[in-house]
């Protein structure tokens, strides 16, 4: 039994349609879905295969590469929407997992094994240092990239931390234009423009 699930953004990329079209399919009952505790729609692979077969849409998920996993910690709720807007034109699939606080983020590290962790943080520099040291101790996350959207004191600039080569720090304001080049560069889709 395959328990793989897709976001509506993933479905839109696979079917080569807009996100709005996928949401309409779900709302009209054509494409079965369920909601996560956070209210996000997810589609089971089996349901997606049946839907695509019914409408003769080519299905090539089995041969495609694994989705890039992104774990985000945000204090506001706008970051995940911004990520979807940045990544919707990418050729890769992405799985986004959201954490409410640094403790929950640490718990997800071993389970999700993300390619990228995005931390929207205030001035919790000491907590972040402990978090980075913990990441370096877990074999599955030693190579995980980290993007810190710092709203307080500068992070990761004092001395060499174990994650310093894999750490990018951006400061407010966070807009699509300021975050996009760094995010795509970290994920290997485009070079970052250095400001």
- pTM, rounded to two decimals: 0.57
Its CATH class, for the domain covering 5-61, is mainly alpha
At 77 the pLDDT is 63
pLDDT band at 1 (very low <50, low <70, confident <90, very high): very low
Specify which of 21-30, 98-107, 137-146 reaches the highest per-range mean pLDDT. Answer: 21-30
At 65 the pLDDT is 53
| pLDDT tens string 6-24 | 888 888 888 888 889 999 9
Give the pair of three-digit tokens for residue 57.
């849409």
Per-position DSSP letters for the chain, written without gaps between them: ----EEEHHHHHHHHTS-HHHHHHHHHTTSS--EE-TTS-EEEEHHHHHHHHHHTT----GGGSPPPEEEEEE-SSSSHHHHHHHHHTTSSS-EEEEEESSHHHHHHHHHHH--SEEEEEESS-HHHHHHHHHHHHHSGGGTT-EEEEEESSS--S-SS--TTGGGEEEEES---HHHHHHHHHHHTTSSPPPP-
- Burial call 151-184: b when 16+ CB within 10 Å, e when fewer: beeebbeeeebebeebbbbbeeebeeebbbbbbb
**pLDDT above 60 (res 174):** yes
CA angle 158, 160, 165 (to 5 degrees): 115
- Rounded to an integer, the average pLDDT of 87-99 is 69
Domain 5-61 shares a fold with domain 68-186: no
Give the pair of three-digit tokens for residue 75.
């204090």
At 39 the pLDDT is 85
Could you identify the residue written with the tokens 């328990």?
Answer: 3
State the chain's mean pLDDT as an integer.
75
CB 68 within 8 A of CB 93: yes
pLDDT band at 34 (very low <50, low <70, confident <90, very high): very high
Q: Where are the domains of the chain?
A: 5-61, 68-186
68-186 has CATH 3.40.50.970 classification: no
Give the pair of three-digit tokens for residue 30.
């054509």
| pLDDT tens string 57-70 | 887 654 445 677 88
Query: Of 40-49, 63-72, 144-153, which range is least confident?
Result: 63-72
pLDDT band at 90 (very low <50, low <70, confident <90, very high): low
Give the pair of three-digit tokens for residue 19.
């996100």
**pLDDT above 70 (res 43):** yes
């Amino acid at each position: 039994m395959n328990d793989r699930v897709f976001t509506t953004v993933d479905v839109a990329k696979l079917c080569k349609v807009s996100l709005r079209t996928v949401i309409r399919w779900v709302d009209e009952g054509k494409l079965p879905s369920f909601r996560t505790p956070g209210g996000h729609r997810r589609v089971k692979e089996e349901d997606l295969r049946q839907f695509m077969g019914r409408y003769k849409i080519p299905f090539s998920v089995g041969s495609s590469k694994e989705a890039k996993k992104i774990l985000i910690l945000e204090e506001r709720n706008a970051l995940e929407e911004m990520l979807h807007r940045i990544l919707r034109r990418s050729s890769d699939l992405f799985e986004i997992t959201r954490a409410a606080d640094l403790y929950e983020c640490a718990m997800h590290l071993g389970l999700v094994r993300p390619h990228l962790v995005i931390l929207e943080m205030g001035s919790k520099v000491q907590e972040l240092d402990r978090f980075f040291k913990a990441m370096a101790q877990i074999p599955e996350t030693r190579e995980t990239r980290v993007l810190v959207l710092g709203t307080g004191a500068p992070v990761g600039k004092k001395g060499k931390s174990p994650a310093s080569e894999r750490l990018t720090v951006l400061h407010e304001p966070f807009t699509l234009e300021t975050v996009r080049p760094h995010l795509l560069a970290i994920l290997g889709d485009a070079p970052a423009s250095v400001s």
